[in-house]
Amino acid sequence: MSETDETPEPQGMVADAYKGNWVDRDAPEWTRPYLRLSRADRPIGTWLLLLPCWWGVTLAAASTGFRWMDIWIVIGCAIGAWLMRGAGCTWNDITDRKIDAQVARTRSRPIPSGQVSVAHAVLWMVVQSLVAFGILLTFNTAAILMGIASLGLVAIYPFAKRFTYWPQVFLGLAFNWGALLAWTAHTGSLGWPALFLYLSGIAWTIFYDTIYAHQDKEDDALIGVKSTALLFGADTPLRLRQFMMISVGLMTMAVIIALAKSAGVAVFVSLLGVVLFGIHMMWQLLRLDSDDGDTCLMLFRSNRDAGLIPVLAFGLAIMA
């Protein structure tokens, strides 16, 4: 095929975005740099922020009974996850703009590529945050306080890779906060099952984000950015297996505590979901080639399906 026969990539397209995504294809041209800044062309991050929220609300409903407010919690968390992931990514790109300009995969992002100025990026971050805060205000007081408390973790995360080889831990602390928030939005208070879900999600985040970080390990090593991919090196499969086991074990504890007084069917269905969640991660390990960036990206994206498995299982437990 000649070069003239190939379909040109849309102007400003980010390197690791889905080809033919709706932002590059359908969004008004003036909005595209801001939507790219929010990663709207790469939805996997929104899913990974949202799924722990859905774990929390569905397991809480399975434990104490479904309430009509749960429907709004599910919807509100989905909208809020999209907005806060966008605000968080905008903050990340503001703080990382000089680093991103030195990494092949990230130099096409809106700020280092010159599509958006830092001032406009700050304004866009504030707008997204304020709309998300409006949604948070529809939840109960305890959940609102939980949401406000998460902002410190969001602010710290972009700097973690500058001082520790464990930035994935800080990402996990921020990305899984929704398990605590959504459980609290349903029950009105924190509980041990929510804490175990939260810790399970942190181990899961270390698992999938280490896979993701292997895409950039050469560039990261050159510019002095740290990650678990660099820390684990050739031991990555072993370390990921350990975090997989930790994640599955903690989620099992969450289910057992939450459903201690529930019907046997609800417990069985929920634990089956946890087992299938672990099997999905094992499948990722079997497919992993940490030196193949395309494979790492594919496996990272597959964690949307992994995280949906407990949601579906806990949802079925509500009806048991």
Mean pLDDT, the chain, rounded, equals 91
pLDDT of residue 71: 96
Query: What percent of the chain is modeled with pLDDT above 70?
Result: 95
- More reliable by pLDDT, 140 or 25: 140
Neighbours of 109 (CB within 10 A): 27
Residue 3 has pLDDT above 80, yes or no: no
**Where is pLDDT greater, at 101 or 122?**
122
C-alpha 46/C-alpha 282 separation (Å) is 23
Q: DSSP label at 206?
A: H
Contact between residue 36 and residue 23 where contact means Cβ atoms under 8 Å apart: yes
Whole-model pTM: value is 0.90
> pLDDT digits over 161-184, tens only?
888 999 999 999 999 999 999 999
Range name among 33-42, 46-55, 105-114, 275-284 with the lowest pLDDT average: 105-114
Confidence of residue 16 (pLDDT cuts 50, 70, 90): low
Residue 319 reports pLDDT greater than 80: yes
**Polymer length in residues for the chain:** 320
Nearest to 294 by CA among 97, 85, 19: 19
Q: Please, which pLDDT band fits residue 320 given cuts at 50, 70 and 90?
A: confident
Q: Has residue 106 got a pLDDT over 70?
A: yes
Residue 186: the pLDDT is: 97
Residue 158: pLDDT over 70: yes
Question: What gap in Å lies between CA 206 and CA 114, rounded to an integer?
Answer: 32
Which tens digit of pLDDT belongs to each residue from 244-300? 999 999 999 999 999 998 889 999 999 999 999 999 999 999 999 999 999 999 999
Overall average pLDDT of the 40-55 stretch: 94
The helix (H) or strand (E) run that includes residue 320 is none
The pLDDT tens digits for 210-256 are 999 999 888 778 788 899 999 999 999 999 999 999 999 999 999 99
pLDDT at 9 over 60: no
Q: Is the pLDDT of residue 7 over 80?
A: no
Instruction: Give ∠ CA 159-43-39 in degrees, rounded to 5.
Output: 50
Residue 5 has pLDDT above 50, yes or no: no
What was the pLDDT predicted at 286? Answer: 97
- Residue 19, pLDDT > 80, answer no
∠ Cα 152 45 115 (to 5°) = 85
What are the structural domains of the chain?
19-319 (1.10.357.140)
